[in-house]
Structure 1
Amino acid sequence: MLQMYDEPVVENEDESTTWIALSDLMTGLMAIFLTLSIAILVNQNAQRDEIVQDVQQALKKSGLEIETDPRTGDMNIAADFAFESGKAVLKPEGKAILDQLMPVFAKAVFDELSGEQQEEITRLIVEGHTDSVGSYASNMQLSTERANAVLSYIDTQMPDFPHKAELLAKMTAVGRGENDASPTENPADRRVLLRFDFKQPDWTKQPKKNQK
Protein backbone atom coordinates (compact mmCIF):
# COMPACT_ATOMS: atom_id res chain seq x y z
CA MET A 1 0.00 0.00 0.00
CA LEU A 2 1.28 3.48 -0.91
CA GLN A 3 2.13 5.81 1.95
CA MET A 4 1.65 9.58 1.69
CA TYR A 5 4.39 11.87 2.94
CA ASP A 6 2.98 15.30 3.67
CA GLU A 7 6.01 16.72 5.51
CA PRO A 8 8.12 17.69 2.46
CA VAL A 9 5.13 19.36 0.86
CA VAL A 10 4.68 21.56 3.91
CA GLU A 11 8.37 22.50 3.84
CA ASN A 12 8.15 23.41 0.15
CA GLU A 13 5.10 25.54 0.82
CA ASP A 14 6.95 27.33 3.65
CA GLU A 15 9.91 28.03 1.37
CA SER A 16 7.66 29.34 -1.40
CA THR A 17 5.87 31.62 1.04
CA THR A 18 9.22 32.96 2.30
CA TRP A 19 10.50 33.70 -1.21
CA ILE A 20 7.24 35.42 -2.16
CA ALA A 21 7.47 37.59 0.96
CA LEU A 22 11.10 38.48 0.17
CA SER A 23 10.16 39.27 -3.42
CA ASP A 24 7.36 41.55 -2.26
CA LEU A 25 9.73 43.27 0.16
CA MET A 26 12.36 43.85 -2.54
CA THR A 27 9.70 45.17 -4.91
CA GLY A 28 8.51 47.59 -2.24
CA LEU A 29 12.05 48.76 -1.49
CA MET A 30 12.73 49.30 -5.20
CA ALA A 31 9.55 51.34 -5.52
CA ILE A 32 10.60 53.51 -2.55
CA PHE A 33 14.10 53.94 -4.02
CA LEU A 34 12.72 54.94 -7.43
CA THR A 35 10.33 57.42 -5.83
CA LEU A 36 13.15 59.01 -3.82
CA SER A 37 15.46 59.04 -6.85
CA ILE A 38 12.86 60.81 -8.98
CA ALA A 39 12.19 63.32 -6.19
CA ILE A 40 15.92 64.04 -5.80
CA LEU A 41 16.38 64.52 -9.56
CA VAL A 42 13.32 66.77 -9.84
CA ASN A 43 14.53 68.84 -6.88
CA GLN A 44 18.05 69.12 -8.29
CA ASN A 45 16.79 70.07 -11.75
CA ALA A 46 14.65 72.77 -10.15
CA GLN A 47 17.72 74.10 -8.31
CA ARG A 48 19.73 74.16 -11.53
CA ASP A 49 16.96 75.91 -13.43
CA GLU A 50 16.84 78.54 -10.70
CA ILE A 51 20.62 79.05 -10.90
CA VAL A 52 20.45 79.52 -14.67
CA GLN A 53 17.53 81.94 -14.38
CA ASP A 54 19.19 83.97 -11.62
CA VAL A 55 22.40 84.38 -13.62
CA GLN A 56 20.45 85.27 -16.77
CA GLN A 57 18.49 87.87 -14.84
CA ALA A 58 21.72 89.42 -13.53
CA LEU A 59 23.11 89.69 -17.06
CA LYS A 60 19.86 91.15 -18.34
CA LYS A 61 19.77 93.78 -15.57
CA SER A 62 23.28 94.86 -16.56
CA GLY A 63 22.16 95.32 -20.16
CA LEU A 64 24.50 92.68 -21.57
CA GLU A 65 23.51 91.22 -24.91
CA ILE A 66 25.14 87.81 -24.54
CA GLU A 67 23.79 84.87 -26.52
CA THR A 68 22.54 82.50 -23.83
CA ASP A 69 20.81 79.12 -23.99
CA PRO A 70 17.67 79.59 -21.83
CA ARG A 71 17.61 75.88 -20.90
CA THR A 72 21.22 75.26 -19.89
CA GLY A 73 22.61 78.73 -19.26
CA ASP A 74 25.42 78.16 -21.79
CA MET A 75 26.82 81.52 -22.88
CA ASN A 76 28.53 82.35 -26.14
CA ILE A 77 31.20 84.51 -24.54
CA ALA A 78 33.23 84.86 -27.72
CA ALA A 79 31.19 85.50 -30.82
CA ASP A 80 32.14 84.55 -34.39
CA PHE A 81 34.40 87.59 -34.73
CA ALA A 82 36.50 86.71 -31.65
CA PHE A 83 38.96 84.43 -33.49
CA GLU A 84 40.35 84.38 -37.00
CA SER A 85 40.34 81.14 -38.96
CA GLY A 86 42.99 78.73 -37.71
CA LYS A 87 44.08 81.02 -34.86
CA ALA A 88 43.66 81.05 -31.08
CA VAL A 89 44.46 84.72 -30.48
CA LEU A 90 41.55 86.76 -29.16
CA LYS A 91 40.64 89.69 -31.36
CA PRO A 92 39.82 93.06 -29.75
CA GLU A 93 36.11 92.38 -30.18
CA GLY A 94 36.39 89.15 -28.20
CA LYS A 95 38.34 90.87 -25.45
CA ALA A 96 35.67 93.57 -25.24
CA ILE A 97 33.01 90.88 -24.66
CA LEU A 98 35.03 89.39 -21.81
CA ASP A 99 35.68 92.82 -20.29
CA GLN A 100 31.94 93.41 -20.07
CA LEU A 101 30.82 89.92 -19.12
CA MET A 102 33.24 88.56 -16.55
CA PRO A 103 32.75 91.11 -13.71
CA VAL A 104 28.97 90.86 -14.03
CA PHE A 105 29.05 87.08 -14.26
CA ALA A 106 31.33 86.77 -11.20
CA LYS A 107 29.04 89.05 -9.20
CA ALA A 108 25.99 87.02 -10.22
CA VAL A 109 27.57 83.71 -9.18
CA PHE A 110 29.31 84.74 -5.96
CA ASP A 111 27.10 87.56 -4.65
CA GLU A 112 23.59 86.82 -5.86
CA LEU A 113 23.50 83.01 -5.64
CA SER A 114 23.07 81.41 -2.25
CA GLY A 115 25.84 79.28 -0.73
CA GLU A 116 23.82 76.15 -1.49
CA GLN A 117 23.43 77.19 -5.12
CA GLN A 118 27.15 77.88 -5.42
CA GLU A 119 27.89 74.40 -4.11
CA GLU A 120 25.80 72.96 -6.94
CA ILE A 121 28.28 74.43 -9.46
CA THR A 122 31.37 72.22 -9.43
CA ARG A 123 33.09 73.88 -12.39
CA LEU A 124 32.63 76.60 -14.98
CA ILE A 125 33.62 75.03 -18.28
CA VAL A 126 35.31 77.28 -20.85
CA GLU A 127 34.64 75.26 -24.00
CA GLY A 128 36.49 76.01 -27.23
CA HIS A 129 35.10 75.24 -30.70
CA THR A 130 36.32 75.41 -34.31
CA ASP A 131 34.81 75.34 -37.76
CA SER A 132 35.03 72.19 -39.90
CA VAL A 133 38.10 73.26 -41.91
CA GLY A 134 41.24 71.22 -41.14
CA SER A 135 41.85 67.82 -39.58
CA TYR A 136 40.02 66.53 -36.54
CA ALA A 137 43.19 66.39 -34.43
CA SER A 138 44.35 69.89 -35.34
CA ASN A 139 40.89 71.33 -34.67
CA MET A 140 40.74 69.62 -31.28
CA GLN A 141 44.06 71.20 -30.34
CA LEU A 142 42.99 74.58 -31.73
CA SER A 143 39.73 74.54 -29.78
CA THR A 144 41.60 73.81 -26.54
CA GLU A 145 44.01 76.66 -27.29
CA ARG A 146 41.06 79.01 -27.79
CA ALA A 147 39.57 78.03 -24.45
CA ASN A 148 42.94 78.56 -22.79
CA ALA A 149 43.28 81.94 -24.53
CA VAL A 150 40.08 83.07 -22.81
CA LEU A 151 41.31 81.88 -19.41
CA SER A 152 44.70 83.48 -19.94
CA TYR A 153 43.16 86.81 -20.90
CA ILE A 154 40.93 86.84 -17.79
CA ASP A 155 43.86 85.87 -15.57
CA THR A 156 46.67 88.07 -16.86
CA GLN A 157 45.21 90.92 -18.90
CA MET A 158 41.89 91.88 -17.38
CA PRO A 159 42.03 94.34 -14.47
CA ASP A 160 41.08 92.91 -11.09
CA PHE A 161 37.39 92.75 -10.28
CA PRO A 162 35.48 91.34 -7.29
CA HIS A 163 35.63 87.52 -7.07
CA LYS A 164 38.12 87.22 -9.93
CA ALA A 165 40.23 84.67 -8.02
CA GLU A 166 37.17 82.57 -7.07
CA LEU A 167 35.97 82.66 -10.66
CA LEU A 168 39.29 81.46 -12.06
CA ALA A 169 39.44 78.71 -9.42
CA LYS A 170 36.13 77.34 -10.76
CA MET A 171 37.11 77.56 -14.44
CA THR A 172 38.39 74.67 -16.56
CA ALA A 173 39.36 74.87 -20.25
CA VAL A 174 38.26 72.09 -22.61
CA GLY A 175 38.16 71.69 -26.38
CA ARG A 176 35.30 70.36 -28.51
CA GLY A 177 37.07 70.75 -31.83
CA GLU A 178 34.78 70.56 -34.84
CA ASN A 179 32.27 68.21 -33.17
CA ASP A 180 29.47 70.79 -33.20
CA ALA A 181 30.53 72.62 -36.37
CA SER A 182 28.59 73.08 -39.60
CA PRO A 183 29.51 70.76 -42.51
CA THR A 184 30.99 73.71 -44.39
CA GLU A 185 33.15 76.58 -43.14
CA ASN A 186 31.17 78.89 -40.89
CA PRO A 187 32.81 81.74 -38.92
CA ALA A 188 30.14 81.38 -36.22
CA ASP A 189 31.65 78.00 -35.29
CA ARG A 190 34.88 79.69 -34.17
CA ARG A 191 33.63 80.38 -30.68
CA VAL A 192 34.01 79.69 -26.98
CA LEU A 193 31.13 78.79 -24.68
CA LEU A 194 30.90 79.24 -20.94
CA ARG A 195 28.81 76.51 -19.36
CA PHE A 196 27.93 75.27 -15.91
CA ASP A 197 29.07 71.86 -14.70
CA PHE A 198 26.80 70.75 -11.87
CA LYS A 199 27.60 68.18 -9.20
CA GLN A 200 26.13 64.70 -9.35
CA PRO A 201 23.04 63.85 -7.27
CA ASP A 202 23.68 62.87 -3.65
CA TRP A 203 21.45 59.83 -3.15
CA THR A 204 22.06 59.82 0.61
CA LYS A 205 20.21 63.09 1.14
CA GLN A 206 16.49 63.62 1.29
CA PRO A 207 15.16 66.13 -1.26
CA LYS A 208 14.40 69.53 0.17
CA LYS A 209 13.30 72.93 -1.02
CA ASN A 210 16.03 75.25 -2.18
CA GLN A 211 16.16 78.31 0.01
CA LYS A 212 18.11 81.50 -0.52
Structure 2
Amino acid sequence: MSSIFGSSSAQSEDEHWISVSDLMAGLMVIFLFIAISYMKNIVIEKERIEQIAVTWNETQEALYVDLETEFQNDLPKWGAEFNKDTLAIRFKEPNVLFDSSESNLKPEFKAILDDFFPRYIEVLKKYRDDIAEIRIEGHTSSIWGGSINGTDAYFKNMELSQDRTRSVLTHCLMIPQIETEREWARTTITANGLSSSKPILNPDGSENEAQSRRVEFRVRTNAERRIVDILQV
Protein backbone atom coordinates (compact mmCIF):
# COMPACT_ATOMS: atom_id res chain seq x y z
CA MET A 1 0.00 0.00 0.00
CA SER A 2 2.87 2.31 0.88
CA SER A 3 4.28 1.89 -2.60
CA ILE A 4 0.92 2.71 -4.04
CA PHE A 5 0.58 5.83 -1.86
CA GLY A 6 4.15 6.80 -2.68
CA SER A 7 3.44 6.60 -6.36
CA SER A 8 0.33 8.70 -5.96
CA SER A 9 2.27 11.38 -4.02
CA ALA A 10 4.98 11.61 -6.70
CA GLN A 11 2.35 11.96 -9.41
CA SER A 12 0.66 14.75 -7.47
CA GLU A 13 3.98 16.54 -7.08
CA ASP A 14 4.68 16.26 -10.82
CA GLU A 15 1.27 17.70 -11.62
CA HIS A 16 1.94 20.56 -9.22
CA TRP A 17 5.21 21.49 -10.96
CA ILE A 18 3.58 21.22 -14.37
CA SER A 19 0.94 23.68 -13.22
CA VAL A 20 3.60 26.13 -11.95
CA SER A 21 5.52 25.74 -15.20
CA ASP A 22 2.39 26.57 -17.19
CA LEU A 23 1.79 29.60 -14.98
CA MET A 24 5.33 30.89 -15.48
CA ALA A 25 5.04 30.40 -19.23
CA GLY A 26 1.80 32.37 -19.22
CA LEU A 27 3.38 35.19 -17.22
CA MET A 28 6.31 35.34 -19.62
CA VAL A 29 3.88 35.71 -22.54
CA ILE A 30 2.09 38.53 -20.69
CA PHE A 31 5.38 40.31 -19.94
CA LEU A 32 6.38 39.90 -23.59
CA PHE A 33 3.17 41.59 -24.75
CA ILE A 34 3.73 44.41 -22.22
CA ALA A 35 7.29 44.90 -23.48
CA ILE A 36 6.15 44.98 -27.11
CA SER A 37 3.41 47.47 -26.24
CA TYR A 38 5.89 49.66 -24.36
CA MET A 39 8.34 49.60 -27.26
CA LYS A 40 5.54 50.53 -29.65
CA ASN A 41 4.64 53.52 -27.45
CA ILE A 42 8.28 54.62 -27.46
CA VAL A 43 8.33 54.52 -31.26
CA ILE A 44 5.08 56.51 -31.41
CA GLU A 45 6.42 59.15 -29.00
CA LYS A 46 9.63 59.39 -31.02
CA GLU A 47 7.64 59.97 -34.20
CA ARG A 48 5.55 62.65 -32.46
CA ILE A 49 8.66 64.44 -31.22
CA GLU A 50 10.12 64.33 -34.72
CA GLN A 51 6.86 65.74 -36.08
CA ILE A 52 7.00 68.58 -33.57
CA ALA A 53 10.60 69.40 -34.47
CA VAL A 54 9.91 69.33 -38.21
CA THR A 55 6.77 71.49 -37.88
CA TRP A 56 8.52 74.08 -35.71
CA ASN A 57 11.60 74.23 -37.91
CA GLU A 58 9.62 74.57 -41.15
CA THR A 59 7.52 77.42 -39.77
CA GLN A 60 10.52 79.26 -38.35
CA GLU A 61 12.48 78.89 -41.56
CA ALA A 62 9.62 80.04 -43.78
CA LEU A 63 8.97 83.08 -41.60
CA TYR A 64 12.63 83.98 -41.60
CA VAL A 65 12.97 83.72 -45.37
CA ASP A 66 9.89 85.86 -46.04
CA LEU A 67 10.82 88.55 -43.51
CA GLU A 68 14.44 88.62 -44.63
CA THR A 69 13.41 88.92 -48.28
CA GLU A 70 10.98 91.75 -47.52
CA PHE A 71 13.24 93.89 -45.32
CA GLN A 72 16.87 93.09 -46.05
CA ASN A 73 17.39 96.25 -48.12
CA ASP A 74 15.65 98.50 -45.60
CA LEU A 75 17.19 97.40 -42.31
CA PRO A 76 20.48 99.33 -42.68
CA LYS A 77 18.81 102.64 -43.45
CA TRP A 78 16.40 102.15 -40.52
CA GLY A 79 19.21 101.37 -38.11
CA ALA A 80 17.65 97.93 -37.58
CA GLU A 81 18.69 94.29 -37.61
CA PHE A 82 16.94 90.92 -37.90
CA ASN A 83 17.63 87.93 -35.67
CA LYS A 84 16.93 84.59 -37.35
CA ASP A 85 16.74 82.56 -34.13
CA THR A 86 14.21 84.80 -32.36
CA LEU A 87 12.49 86.25 -35.45
CA ALA A 88 12.99 89.66 -33.87
CA ILE A 89 13.42 92.88 -35.85
CA ARG A 90 15.33 95.28 -33.63
CA PHE A 91 15.27 99.07 -34.09
CA LYS A 92 18.48 99.99 -32.30
CA GLU A 93 19.15 103.68 -32.90
CA PRO A 94 17.85 105.38 -29.73
CA ASN A 95 18.30 108.90 -31.13
CA VAL A 96 15.86 108.03 -33.91
CA LEU A 97 13.21 106.46 -31.67
CA PHE A 98 12.44 108.77 -28.73
CA ASP A 99 13.76 111.80 -26.94
CA SER A 100 15.51 111.04 -23.67
CA SER A 101 13.04 109.96 -20.93
CA GLU A 102 10.10 110.59 -23.30
CA SER A 103 7.55 108.16 -24.74
CA ASN A 104 6.34 110.15 -27.75
CA LEU A 105 7.59 108.79 -31.07
CA LYS A 106 9.99 111.04 -32.93
CA PRO A 107 8.90 112.00 -36.47
CA GLU A 108 11.66 109.92 -38.05
CA PHE A 109 10.55 106.80 -36.19
CA LYS A 110 6.92 107.42 -37.17
CA ALA A 111 8.01 107.54 -40.81
CA ILE A 112 9.91 104.27 -40.41
CA LEU A 113 6.90 102.57 -38.82
CA ASP A 114 4.60 103.86 -41.57
CA ASP A 115 6.82 102.07 -44.09
CA PHE A 116 7.67 99.00 -42.01
CA PHE A 117 4.48 97.96 -40.25
CA PRO A 118 2.03 97.49 -43.16
CA ARG A 119 4.59 95.35 -44.97
CA TYR A 120 5.31 93.44 -41.76
CA ILE A 121 1.63 92.59 -41.31
CA GLU A 122 1.34 91.66 -45.00
CA VAL A 123 4.05 89.03 -44.52
CA LEU A 124 2.79 87.72 -41.19
CA LYS A 125 -0.87 87.38 -42.15
CA LYS A 126 0.05 84.41 -44.35
CA TYR A 127 1.09 82.64 -41.15
CA ARG A 128 -1.78 83.72 -38.95
CA ASP A 129 -2.60 80.10 -38.04
CA ASP A 130 0.99 79.58 -36.90
CA ILE A 131 1.41 82.78 -34.90
CA ALA A 132 0.50 82.94 -31.23
CA GLU A 133 1.71 86.49 -30.58
CA ILE A 134 3.39 89.48 -32.15
CA ARG A 135 5.30 91.23 -29.39
CA ILE A 136 6.36 94.85 -29.41
CA GLU A 137 9.12 95.02 -26.81
CA GLY A 138 10.50 98.21 -25.30
CA HIS A 139 13.96 98.05 -23.71
CA THR A 140 15.95 100.64 -21.81
CA SER A 141 19.39 100.87 -20.31
CA SER A 142 19.76 100.49 -16.54
CA ILE A 143 20.50 104.19 -16.17
CA TRP A 144 18.09 106.85 -14.98
CA GLY A 145 18.93 110.53 -14.58
CA GLY A 146 19.85 111.67 -11.09
CA SER A 147 21.28 109.70 -8.20
CA ILE A 148 18.47 107.20 -7.59
CA ASN A 149 19.40 103.63 -6.77
CA GLY A 150 19.24 100.70 -9.16
CA THR A 151 15.87 99.42 -8.01
CA ASP A 152 14.16 102.80 -8.40
CA ALA A 153 15.79 103.26 -11.79
CA TYR A 154 14.51 99.83 -12.86
CA PHE A 155 10.90 100.69 -12.00
CA LYS A 156 11.06 104.14 -13.59
CA ASN A 157 12.49 102.56 -16.74
CA MET A 158 9.75 99.92 -16.58
CA GLU A 159 7.10 102.63 -16.70
CA LEU A 160 8.95 104.43 -19.49
CA SER A 161 9.42 101.30 -21.61
CA GLN A 162 5.77 100.36 -21.22
CA ASP A 163 4.66 103.84 -22.25
CA ARG A 164 6.93 103.69 -25.27
CA THR A 165 5.66 100.31 -26.49
CA ARG A 166 2.10 101.53 -26.03
CA SER A 167 2.92 104.57 -28.19
CA VAL A 168 4.39 102.30 -30.86
CA LEU A 169 1.37 100.00 -30.76
CA THR A 170 -1.09 102.89 -30.95
CA HIS A 171 0.67 104.39 -33.94
CA CYS A 172 0.95 101.08 -35.78
CA LEU A 173 -2.68 100.11 -35.31
CA MET A 174 -3.85 103.45 -36.67
CA ILE A 175 -1.91 103.23 -39.94
CA PRO A 176 -4.57 103.27 -42.70
CA GLN A 177 -2.89 100.60 -44.83
CA ILE A 178 -3.56 97.87 -42.27
CA GLU A 179 -7.29 98.54 -41.97
CA THR A 180 -8.33 95.17 -43.41
CA GLU A 181 -6.06 93.33 -40.94
CA ARG A 182 -6.57 95.64 -37.97
CA GLU A 183 -8.85 93.29 -36.04
CA TRP A 184 -6.43 90.38 -36.36
CA ALA A 185 -3.52 92.63 -35.46
CA ARG A 186 -5.37 93.99 -32.45
CA THR A 187 -5.98 90.53 -31.05
CA THR A 188 -2.44 89.30 -31.77
CA ILE A 189 -0.08 92.18 -30.93
CA THR A 190 0.98 92.91 -27.36
CA ALA A 191 3.01 95.80 -25.95
CA ASN A 192 5.68 94.71 -23.48
CA GLY A 193 7.82 97.14 -21.51
CA LEU A 194 10.84 95.23 -20.20
CA SER A 195 12.84 98.05 -18.62
CA SER A 196 16.53 97.09 -18.36
CA SER A 197 15.91 93.36 -17.79
CA LYS A 198 17.56 92.34 -21.09
CA PRO A 199 20.48 94.72 -21.71
CA ILE A 200 22.84 94.49 -24.66
CA LEU A 201 26.35 93.73 -23.43
CA ASN A 202 29.74 94.71 -24.74
CA PRO A 203 32.34 92.00 -25.42
CA ASP A 204 33.82 92.59 -21.96
CA GLY A 205 30.44 91.95 -20.29
CA SER A 206 29.65 95.58 -19.48
CA GLU A 207 26.34 97.13 -20.50
CA ASN A 208 26.12 98.89 -23.85
CA GLU A 209 23.77 101.65 -22.75
CA ALA A 210 23.01 103.02 -26.23
CA GLN A 211 22.28 99.62 -27.79
CA SER A 212 20.16 98.61 -24.80
CA ARG A 213 17.72 101.42 -25.63
CA ARG A 214 15.75 99.76 -28.41
CA VAL A 215 12.38 98.60 -29.73
CA GLU A 216 11.87 95.07 -31.04
CA PHE A 217 9.11 93.43 -33.04
CA ARG A 218 9.18 89.73 -32.23
CA VAL A 219 7.07 86.83 -33.54
CA ARG A 220 6.15 83.97 -31.22
CA THR A 221 4.78 80.91 -33.02
CA ASN A 222 2.18 78.58 -31.53
CA ALA A 223 4.63 75.67 -31.29
CA GLU A 224 3.54 75.10 -27.68
CA ARG A 225 -0.06 74.57 -28.73
CA ARG A 226 0.99 72.26 -31.54
CA ILE A 227 3.08 70.22 -29.13
CA VAL A 228 0.03 69.71 -26.91
CA ASP A 229 -2.16 68.81 -29.90
CA ILE A 230 0.34 66.26 -31.18
CA LEU A 231 0.98 64.65 -27.79
CA GLN A 232 -2.75 64.30 -27.14
CA VAL A 233 -3.36 62.31 -30.33
Higher helix share: 2
- Aligned equivalent of 2:89: 75
Number of residue pairs matched? 198
SS in 2 for 1:126: strand
**CA drift at 1:38:** 0.8
SS in 2 for 1:140: helix
CA distance in 1, matches of 2:218, 2:129: 15
Matched, 1:190 2:213: yes
CA distance in 1, matches of 2:140, 2:75: 25
CA distance in 1, matches of 2:158, 2:94: 18
4+ residue segments displaced more than 6 Å: none
- Aligned equivalent of 1:40: 52
SS in 1 for 2:68: helix
Q: Would the aligned equivalents of 1:56 and 1:73 in 2 still touch at CA under 8 Å? A: no
The residue correspondences of 1:17-166 to structure 2 (distance < 5 A) are 17-60=29-72, 63-65=74-76, 66-77=80-91, 79-81=93-95, 82-110=97-125, 113=126, 117-133=127-143, 134-135=150-151, 136-156=154-174, 158=175, 160-162=176-178, 163=180, 165=182, 166=184
Change (3 A) 1:10 1:141: farther
SS in 1 for 2:220: strand
Change (3 A) 1:164 1:177: same
RMSD: 2.7
CA distance in 2, matches of 1:155, 1:28: 51
Gaps of 5+ in 2: 1-5, 144-149
Change (3 A) 1:58 1:205: farther
- Deviation digits for residues 140-182 of structure 1 (CA, Å, limit 9, x no counterpart): 33322221121122234x4x11445143332111232212114
Match of 2:187 among 144, 163, 169: 169
Change (3 A) 1:55 1:10: same
**CA drift at 1:64:** 4.7
Give the alignment's TM-score, normalised by structure 1: 0.79
Q: Would the aligned equivalents of 2:48 and 2:231 in 1 still touch at CA under 8 Å? A: no
- Aligned equivalent of 2:222: 199
Gaps of 5+ in 1: 207-212
**CA drift at 1:78:** 5.7
Q: Identity rate of aligned residues, in percent?
A: 22
Task: Choose 1 or 2 for highest CA Rg.
Answer: 2
Matched, 1:15 2:27: yes
Q: Would the aligned equivalents of 2:135 and 2:219 in 1 still touch at CA under 8 Å? A: yes
